[in-house]
Each structure stands twice: as structure tokens, then as C-alpha cells.
Amino acid sequence: MRRRKFIALIGSAAATWPFTAHTQQPMKPTIGLLSFGSPSTVALRLQTFRQALKDYGFVEGQNLSIDARWMGEHYDQMPAAAADLVNRQVAVIVAAGTPACFAAKAATKKIPIVFTTGGDPIQLGIVASVNRPTENVTGAVFPLNDLVTKQLDLLHLMLPGVKTVGLLLNPRNPQAQGQLRDASPVLQPLGIKLAVAKASAVGEIDAAFADLVAQQANALLVGADGFFNTRREQIVELAARSMIPTLYPLREYVEAGGLASYGTSPTEAWHQAGIYTARILKGEMVADLPVIQTTKFEFIFNRKTARTLGMKISDNVLSLADDVIE
């Protein structure tokens, strides 16, 4: 009797095994996302990143997981966050911004890394070649840090009588020194003084603007920096309160009430990062994915802010604008 029950039990279990194996869900790949700021400060970029993944068949929550680490302005915490993503054995690390890329590169030589940066990836040491990456790193470049010369030319064109131009930099950004180096040769031949102010934390931004006022800066260029972008509303408000006409690296500042911006599109770079991440998940090798540079440059001008500052802008300047916000 016992033998018959045992055989029946084994037969019943065996009958369920093929069904269990057949219905077992495949494991979803996990992307590790390492970025400054927060989801709200890069909402449009995050949306385009997810859309690019979706275009290639990957939808978060269905067949894909995203383990996002938002560092705010805490650059020093990125290495630990990157190491934790490696320990969790994510399939790909998406490193948004140069500090995130440095942290990811230091954490792994095996897991594919897809980066976005506003600097020159070869000069920064992120990659040795843009045409054929030789390590586990590729990505998209939106060249903001190489635009200081053009940005200062535009600022002088808008304000031909300017005597002192301020430059707001984050000293913890590895590209800040290059931005400072590029600024002096533009201003010196014009007889314009350069006033440098620095901030790397929320509490330092107010002090930086007080320093600019003390140095009698009557125009300002905000350096390209991920932390500054997360604090763009604070920076725009301080520029307005200080009555300093300011040129920014991204159109988001102008949409928040800033005077003008000239730069490329980080959103386009995030979209490309999403495409590369999806292609890697589908089995493509990093070495076959060359580093891509975004090609869209735009000059955005806010006419309402100009009126508030009491500025008279020439038709020549307005004709150069790709978009004029009324």
C-alpha cells in the first residue's frame, strides 16, 4: 500500500515538472544607472533614455530592471555606488556625467559601461579611441566644455560694453580647469577682466554670487557642470537678484528664466546611451560601438528676462538665436 502511494506521489510530481520548467520566467537583465542630481532634475533625459530602450524592446518592469543611484551633488559617493552596482552584477552600467564614468571605470573592467559626458573623452582618459573602443567603455559626448570660446563671444556680442565677466565653476569637476584655461585668451585681447567664483555645494552658491558682485562682474558665464544643472533654479534666481546678465550651457536654464544659453543637447546623448545599452543587452560588443558625438548646437534667448534686466538687444543677436522665449 505504501509502495503504491509513493509511486503515485512521484508520478504526480513528475507530471508537474515539465509545466513548471516551461512556465518559469526568464531572469530580467538589470541596468545600473549612476548619475548626479535626481530623477526630477533630468526628467526629460530620463524619459528619452527609457524611450530608446523601449524602441529596442526593453521596458522597465516588464523585461528589464533599472537600479538607479542618484548622487545629487555628492560626487564623493559615486565610487561606493559604482562598486555596489558591480557587486550586484548588473548587465550594463550607464554612467551619466564624467565623475560617474570615472567611478564606474575604477570599479570594473568587465561590465560594459555606457557613458555621457560634456568633455573630450580622450583628453579625459575615458577612452583611448572613439572609433573603436578598446576597453569596456563607450558612450555619447555632448561637447559643452569645449564651447567656452564661442559662449564668451556671444556674451560679448550681447553686451559689447561689458568690463568684467564672471565665470562660475565647480572646482570638484575635473573639467573646470579646462574651462578656466579657455576663458582667459578670449577676454584678455578685449580688455575684459575675468572674475572667477567657485561653488561645489548648495551652501556655496549664494557666497559665489556675493563674490561676483564684490568683483563687480557685469556679465556671467556659468560653467558646464552636472551639479549646477541640478541647482539651475537657484542660480537663475540669484543672477536675476544680482542683476547680472548670464549665459548658461543648457536651454533648461533659459526655460527656468535665465537670459540665454549656448550648447549642445545632453538629452540627445542620453537617448544614444539608451540605444547603446539596448544593443549591448542584445549581444553586441562594446568594441563595435564607436563613441558618438551629438551634433545639435543651439543658442536660446529669453526676451522677457532681457527686458527685466533693462537690456537692449540688437536684431543681429536675435537673428542668431535658434529659439527666442517671449
Mark out the alpha helices in the chain (DSSP H runs). 2-23, 43-55, 78-87, 98-107, 148-158, 176-187, 202-214, 226-230, 232-241, 251-255, 266-281, 303-308, 315-320
Domains of the chain in sequence order:
30-143+265-293 (3.40.50.2300), 145-263+298-325 (3.40.50.2300)
Using CA atoms in the order 227, 229, 233, 239, what is the torsion angle rounded to 10 degrees? 90
- At 178, is the pLDDT very low, low, confident or very high (cuts 50, 70, 90)? confident
The predicted-structure confidence for 194-221, as pLDDT tens digits, reads as follows: 999 999 999 999 999 999 999 999 999 9
CA distances from 154 to 157, 277, 299, 316 (A): 5, 36, 9, 11
Nine cell digits for residue 92 = 550594463
Mind listing the pLDDT tens digit for each residue in 49-98?
A: 999 999 999 999 999 999 999 988 788 899 999 999 999 999 999 999 98
In the prediction, which pLDDT does 280 show? 98
Given this model, what pLDDT does residue 145 score? 66
